[in-house]
Amino acid sequence: MYRFPYNARMNPVASRIGIFGGTFDPIHYGHLALARALRDAFALPEVRLIPTGLPPHRDTPPVTPPQRFALVAQALAGEPGLVADDREVRRQGYCYTIDTLAELQAEHPRAVLVWLIGGDSFLNLKTWRRWPELLEAGHMVVAARPGFDLAGLPADLAEQFVIRAVLPSPETAEKGKISVLPTPLLPYSSTDIRARLARGEDVTALTPV
Ligand code: ATP
């Protein structure tokens, strides 16, 4: 009798995987709220928070990548479906989102990668490596951010946004689409937290770490 050579445990396929990359220097309650909202809007069994190793867009932070990873893992403990992924902190050299998405897609060939990006980052997407390919690499989900108006998108990116926009839901998750995450504006920023820490202020209402 022919037996299908795979069983459910071996099957690496999840139909949708949530991805949330960032410096997380440090992780804050805005990040956590966004990761939960992504999970819930697309019914994702798993959202991976991926702290970057050497970020291409900014100076190397004083807290080391393994330390930032450890703090992210600690902040996610007990959060259903939210997991820390250390692939970028283990990688030698610069980390580019396009490479990370390609790696994840190769590991999960049939999954739709539902990946989150803040509105400030989306406005700058054209500075990202191979940005047109990023639009095709998964379902991009944009989180609005205080102070950043998507009306300021460059014309060609705005055009892509209009062509690709769909409401966020498990049914609309598809490569090449873009959605805006339905969250309230979240007034948290790692830069602000670092500045407060430098002034000796209490940041316990802003970050779990
Ligand atoms: P920094 O202030 O140091 O730039 P950050 O608060 O933006 O840090 P990152 O780790 O760089 O934190 O953010 C990871 C991703 O999350 C980015 O795409 C960023 O745009 C997004 N993001 C972070 N905070 C918010 C927020 N409050 N609202 C919406 N998006 C956010």
Tell me the pLDDT tens digit for each residue of 167-180: 999 999 999 999 99
Kindly calculate the radius of gyration of the chain based on its CA atoms and give it in whole angstroms.
Answer: 17
Task: Give me the pLDDT at residue 92, please.
Answer: 76
Task: Give me the pLDDT at residue 7, please.
Answer: 39
Find tokens 């804050």 and name the residue.
28
Give the full edge-to-edge strand order of the sheet including 47-51: 82-84, 47-51, 16-22, 112-118, 139-143, 178-180
Task: Give me the pLDDT at residue 5, please.
Answer: 42
What is the Å distance from ligand 1's center to 129 Cα? 18
Residue 118 to residue 21: CA distance in whole angstroms: 10
For ligand 1, whether the C-beta of 186 sits within 6 Å is yes
For ligand 1, whether the C-beta of 68 sits within 6 Å is no
Pocket test for ligand 1, best of 181, 189, 196, 203 (most atoms within 8 A of CB): 189
Q: Which among 61, 53, 171 has a CA at the least distance from the CA of 114? A: 171
pLDDT tens digits for 11-47? 444 599 999 999 999 999 999 999 999 999 999 999 9
- Residue whose CA lies nearest to ligand 1 atom number 16: 118
Task: Give me the pLDDT at residue 56, please.
Answer: 59
The beta strand positions in the chain, using DSSP E, are 16-22, 47-51, 82-84, 112-118, 139-143, 178-180
Q: Which atom of ligand 1 is nearest to the CA of 52?
A: 10
Query: What's the pTM?
Result: 0.92
Find tokens 């690499």 and name the residue.
137
What residue ranges of the chain have pLDDT lower than 70? Answer: 1-14, 55-61
